[in-house]
A and B are shown apart, each in its own frame.
Chain A
Amino acid sequence: MTLTEKLRERISRAFYSHGLLCASYPIPIILFTGLCILACCYPLLKLPLPGTGPVEYSTPVKDYFPPSPDPVSQQGDLGERPDWYVGAPVAYIQQIFVKATVSPWQKNFLAVDVFRSPLSRVFQLVEEIRNHALRDSSGVKSLEEVCLQVTDLLPGLKKLRNLLPEHGCLLLSPGNFWQNDRERFNADPDIIKTIHQHEPKTLQTSATLKDLLFGLPGKYSGVNLYNRKRVVSYTVTLGLQRYDSRFLSSLRSRLKLLHPSPNCTLREENIVHVHFKEEIGIAELIPLVTTYIILFAYIYFSTRKIDMVKSKWGLALAAVVTVLSSLLMSVGLCTLFGLTPTLNGGEIFPYLVVVIGLENVLVLTKSVVSTPVDLEVKLRIAQGLSNESWSIMKNMATELGIILIGYFTLVPAIQEFCLFAVVGLVSDFFLQMFFFTTVLSIDIRRMELADLNKRLPAEACLPPAKAVSRSQRYERQPALRPATPHTITLQPSSFRNLRLPKRLRVIYFFARTRLAQRLIMAGTVIWIGILVYTDPAGLRTYLTSQLLENQTQQREQKSGLDSLSRLQANQHSWAQGPEGKGNGQTELGTEAEVTWGAEDEEIWRKLSFRHWPSLFSYYNITLAKRYISILPAIPVTLYLNPQEALEVRHPQEANRYHPFLASSGAKLGAAAQPDQASPKLQGHRDVTLYKVAALGLASGIILVLLLFCLYKVFCPKNYGQNGLAHSRRKRGDLPCDDYGYSPPETEIVPLVLRGHLMDIECLASDGMLLVSCCLVGQIRVWDAQTGDCLTVIPKPRLRRDSSGVFDYQESWDHSPDGKNGLDDSFESSHQLKRMLGPPQPPLFCDQPDLTSLIDTNFSEQVKVPESETRLRAVGGRQKEAGYDFSSLVGKVYEEHSTSNCISFTGLPAPHGQPGSRSLGCGNEEGGCSSRRRSLGDESFTAFDKSSPLPSWGGDLESSVWSLDLQGNLIVAGRSNGKLEVWDAIEGTLRSSNEEGQSGITALVFLNNRIVAARLNGSLDFFSLETHTSFNHLQFRGAPSRSSIPSSPVFSSSDIIMCQLTHTVSCAHQKPITALKAAAGRLVTGSQDHTLRVFRLEDSCCLFTLQGHSGAITAVYMDQTMVLASGGQDGAICLWDVLTGSKVSHMYAHRGDVTSLTCTASCVISSGLDDVISIWDRSSGIKLYSIQQEMGCGASLGVISDNLLVTGGQGCVSFWDIGYGDLLQTVYLGKSNESQPARQILVLENAAIVCNFGSELSLVYVPSVLEKLD
């Protein structure tokens, strides 16, 4: 074994055990990693935030000399000196800070007087500065020699041409507004307008012209009409090319001499050097943006390869987090060890990411997901890690090698980059091993759990395999039957993706998370906060004043009585207010004093940091990576006497402005303390505030209106009200497509089954076959997959000459398959019928189809009327299939049999003649009945004997009230109490039982057992047997994964006997209306307000459940032994069938509960009030309800745990049960628009059959089919 192999094995083993560790303790390891990251990033807090703000450095004025241009020759305190402080600055800035006031102030002065005369003095001052010259031994030195000479303005700044100096000294003062011409100033009628004419209208971001010329922020200048202090401040800004200390000091002393500022305490010791960083321009941004775009493309293409995991996004995020935090860690670690990053982080960052790369992460993921799925998660992770260990280590070593080579280029920038990259690589490896692996293990575990959940029910319910012993002639492909309807697994998300348009999903997301409301709320709070803070009378002023107070107090302590006296003087001057007023119109106003405080120190700091760059940029001088030196300002105090102020006043101003504070003077006087007076004085400014508020309100209203419109557009009906509100799903009489979108036409195409002549009353299906029965008693068998009509019972060739109905039927059946051209054939068949039909008594012309309904067995009629009256009361409203039919028949009975029976008997018998029957069939039946007789286990009732046509006559005379289908056998219960077993494929009668005389209202056909519930409340248990023995029972669908024992298949050659095993003669006092069997139990619901639970095997009654105060109308029971029942009282009860106890009781509907079904988590009921309600199964709390269209209330079906189907006017709608969302509406052809879907049957292959009059529609839900496969 070579060294490499040894190493390889060792590495692989180490990775294996590491993988086991990570997968075993995910949470502690993730916490540990998080702590590591935080610890390593901690030093980053010390780093300055990146930005382009200027950097300052102060040097004392004394002994200042410009730094030498050569950085090497710098001596002394190199440590403190920033590395940009080399060479001469771009310019020295000397500001002359002027504070001027009119004193004493007279009451009748105007507001403009506050600043007009002070501003007028600027011309004089500028002249003084300009003409200043230093005369000494070396000659005369004028300002022109030291100042910064500027040339042209940039061509784009033509409008500033007259305002900014050109071709001369850079000397800025407010006088520039008037071209430094006193005459212009005097002639200017509106100073404020002149000053503000160049202000940008929009948001002010950088320095404005006013700021530039005044040299201090606009609000400090005091040039406005509401200047309470009546002190005007401005500066004269001087740009100097060279630093000449003697010239400057002479200027300073001269200005101080001319305009002394006795109480000025401004410090003048320091020169501040301001260094400006490089500005990021578009030119620089483009490459930067390009690199970032490449970076994102790289990340996108990399993470796209992550596959086969539970959450792609989660893992992609984890991968990116891994890389980013490893970079942060590397910077943090480097900082910790004293390496400060000097590179531009934003620029090198994409390259670092690319160098470190996401490859390892992807390789890890791929390797782990490709391990065998059946292994334990731990082992999968460990195996995946160890598989890739060698390549990971090799790559890492290679990269480190390459980077180390880069380190030896000896270029400082590359070395720094390499250092970061190396540390980043190592920390990235650490994070991959600990963080990403753990995240991956969690993800894989989640995926396995999800898989398990998906697979478990089906596997657990897998029945023991049964071998197929013999081939069957009519063996059909076994249907894959899930255990219960609700185990059809359907990914809720994928289904929602499939159905819901993106737009709606976004909206629902917003609705669920209340995102918009929360954002607006947060925004409002922040806005209010900002308002409160920035309000002139608000928090900030308060805070500032507090701060100032503190500062003053501190300074007080420091400088002692000096400032104290000044403060007192200040207060005193204010306190003079009332006194001055007391003097009345004596023309002698208050004496004002200009104060110099801490806030005046270095006033340029309050300017925008873009102030100087923008000033110099006007002359095409960039300050990027260079610095300027700002010299201490020279304070100048100007006092103007009232005379002067009056002289400079412009004639128009006197008319325009009212005397300053004339109205508020009284208030001011009344206020003892000037501080208290100040808020009131700000009343003027509040006007602006009100304007802003009004504007804000207006825009808010517009915004609300806009949002409302958007809301209307996006959410036509069903969004916005409380999600669980009862009225949420109001549909009313609106057509189905009022929900905002119509589904693609091709998505679901209903398959229409046509062929029945009259309304279809009974439906049954076992997933493969579909059996329907119409009013005339014709039974049709359809292939549920293709919609082909397989069999018609009775067979069309069994036609009776006397009956027009069968003529018509035959002509009908000859039309190809009944699927095409319904209307045409329908028309023609009507004509045909009229032509071919024998003359009938006029009595029947209007109701020809009822002939077969009329039962001439009057012996039975005796019993029927008992229930008839009751039925009639309910009948019109009954929607349930079997029961509905019985009521309808009841009506027919009532109308016709009683009144017309006499005339009817006189007519030729409408029954079919046995002679026309096929011989084979007859023989078969004959054999059957003879066998029955010979076996002697059945006693024929008097009715049977008296009937002239034992088998055939019966089914024509009575109608089918209930149907059930299993395997290839159809069980039909007739109104005359006869139970028939038909072969679905051949259409032959296999067996019949006529022991009961009361109509069979409900049937259950389970395995070889048939339970029939009768109108008189009795319950018959039959068993089907072949004449030999049970070994003829074939079980079909051996590999079926269903939990229901496979249904037997009876070969057509067998003779089947339908044997009555047990009769519960008095199961209920009144007719049985509902019958359900599941989990070895049988539940009956009756009009006598009770439910009974029977055991299927021995027909033993286990419980009688009492709790309803009305007749039971709907019953549901599933494999979990939970029973739900609904009654005419509108109540739903949930029962535990194991114990017979009532679990919950809820009042659901106004009127009868018409249908009831359950999913794993909820109960769905519909009532006569046309409302479908969804209830929580465990708590009995109503989740929400759906308003149905009139007459469609009872039609509902559950396809899976998530999907509900309801019928509407000519359409069916699919709903998401969990959310109550309408997923799709499928229209079932135009001709049926007026027909309500009365009945919905969910087949086990998830097709839906709706009962539309004489037509059936098959609607496949494709996604469900896919899932089943």
Chain B
Amino acid sequence: MPRLESCTWSCSCAARGRHKTQPGDAATKAGEMLSSGSPSQVSAGHGARSPGGAGSTLNWSRHLVQRSVVLFVVGAFMALVLNLLQVQRNVTLFPEEVIATLFSSAWWVPPCCGTAAAVVGLLYPCIDSHLGEPHKFKREWASVMRCIAVFVGINHASAKLDFANNVQLSLTLAALSLGLWWTFDRSRSGLGLGITIAFVATLITQFLVYNGVYQYTSPDFLYIRSWLPCIFFSGGVTVGNIGRQLAMGIPEKPHND
């Protein structure tokens, strides 16, 4: 039962949350993207901004694919890690078994989370550009890393800390999530998208649980845990952060150099 709960939890979290860049992974990938063929990347970046360029369409789509691959990997990895974090409470002395459980019972969770991460990560910069208010706040990789760390911290807290009751837990997590948004995002679009994501993801989870795909050990809000939306929200913000950084990182890089 705990396993089921954790799987659901991580699945949903990952689905929404996606992010969690394994720093090494995301960084290297991003680094590759940044460094590899910078001229084409630059043009890709410009193409993105002014979609008029005919020749840049190809580059732009390639760029898009690269970004989504990075986001997918990040999301899948985060799902695995956060799942582990949840499973951990019941860890016995035999890690092989845990690993086996992890990979056998919910093999579809990481891919789902990865896909969700890719979608959300691409959605954020897209909405930014449609609204015409490019995100300028703290646009650097150090800040993104910090954001990811805080997100993992929130997950950590929800998994490891003993709260007096569920209301307290949910409230704390909600405050933390809002703090995360305020510290690293501060954009209206980010907030709106985050809330939408949290809502939709909770609904999907609810649906899954209702249909018996998953079950929680101790559901306190209909069939699920009440803090789930908070995790989804912070996950969405984090993945959005990564997605924005990836989207802007490439055109920006040559200037840095």
Contacts and interface: CB of A to CB of B under 8 A. Distances in A.
Interface of A: 154, 279, 281-284, 286-287, 290-291, 293-298, 300-302, 304-305, 347, 350-351, 354-355, 357-358, 402, 405-406, 409-411, 413-414, 613, 617, 620, 622, 624
Contacts of A402: 179, 183
A357 B146 CA distance: 8
Given A281-B98, A409-B172, A409-B175, A293 B24 contact: yes
Given A296-B23, A298-B142, A613 B149 contact: no
A282 B150 contact: no
Given A287-B85, A305-B140, A613-B93, A410 B168 contact: yes
Name B's interface SS: helix
Interface string B74-91: 000000111011011001
Contact of B156 (A281, A283, A296, A347): A347
B105 to A, nearest CB: 14
Interface stretch (B53-61, B108-116, B125-133, B159-167): B159-167
A366 to B, nearest CB: 12
10 contacts: A281-B98, A287-B88, A291-B149, A293-B22, A297-B145, A300-B27, A347-B156, A350-B149, A409-B168, A414-B157
B168 A287 contact: no
B168 to A, nearest CB: 7
A693 B115 CA distance: 60
A932 B146 CA distance: 87
B175 A287 contact: no
Contacts of B168: 409-411
Given A305-B142, A613-B93, A354 B153 contact: yes
Contacts of B163: 411
The 6 A-B residue pairs with the shortest CB-CB distance in the complex, in nearest-first order: A297-B23, A298-B145, A301-B142, A281-B95, A282-B95, A301-B141
B8 interface: no
B93 A351 contact: no
Nearest to A357: B146
A541 B149 CA distance: 52
Choose among A283, A298, A350, A413 the residue with the greatest number of B CB atoms under 10 Å from its CB.
Answer: A283
B99 interface: yes
B172 to A, nearest CB: 5
B11 interface: no
A413 B162 contact: yes
A304 B31 CA distance: 13
B50 interface: no
Given A281-B98, A414-B157, A620 B92 contact: yes
Given A281-B93, A297-B23, A351-B156, A290 B81 contact: yes
Contacts of A624: 93
B230 to A, nearest CB: 13
Given A347-B156, A411-B163, A298 B91 contact: no
Nearest to A291: B152
A414 B142 contact: no
Interface of B: 20-24, 27, 80-82, 84-85, 87-88, 91-95, 98-99, 102, 140-142, 144-146, 148-150, 152-153, 156-157, 160-164, 168, 171-172, 175-176, 179, 183
Given A301-B145, A302-B142, A411-B172, A294 B93 contact: no
Choose among B22, B145, B157, B162 the residue with the greatest number of A CB atoms under 10 Å from its CB.
Answer: B145
B229 to A, nearest CB: 18
A305 B256 CA distance: 10
A283 B99 contact: yes
Choose among B21, B141, B149, B160 the residue with the greatest number of A CB atoms under 10 Å from its CB.
Answer: B149
Nearest to A297: B23
A405 B178 CA distance: 12
Given A290-B22, A290-B81, 10 more contacts: A154-B94, A283-B102, A287-B85, A294-B149, A295-B149, A298-B142, A351-B156, A355-B150, A402-B183, A405-B179
A347 B88 CA distance: 13
A350 B149 CA distance: 8
Nearest to B141: A301
B91 A281 contact: yes
Nearest to A405: B175
A282 B99 contact: yes
B69 to A, nearest CB: 19
A83 to B, nearest CB: 14
A295 B22 CA distance: 10
A351 B160 CA distance: 14
Nearest to A402: B179
A370 to B, nearest CB: 16
Contacts of A154: 94
B23 A293 contact: yes
Contacts of B82: 287
A296 B23 CA distance: 8
B77 to A, nearest CB: 8
A154 B96 CA distance: 13
B115 to A, nearest CB: 21
Contacts of B87: 283
Contacts of A282: 95, 98-99
A946 B91 CA distance: 115
A5 to B, nearest CB: 25
B146 A284 contact: no
Given A296-B23, A402-B179, A283 B84 contact: yes
B91 A284 contact: yes
Contacts of B23: 293-294, 296-298
A281 B90 CA distance: 11
B93 A287 contact: no
B149 A298 contact: yes
A1175 B183 CA distance: 63
A599 to B, nearest CB: 31
A327 B53 CA distance: 52
A351 B152 CA distance: 9
A283 B145 contact: no
A329 to B, nearest CB: 21
Given A298-B146, A613-B93, A411 B141 contact: no
Nearest to B144: A301
Contacts of B141: 297, 301
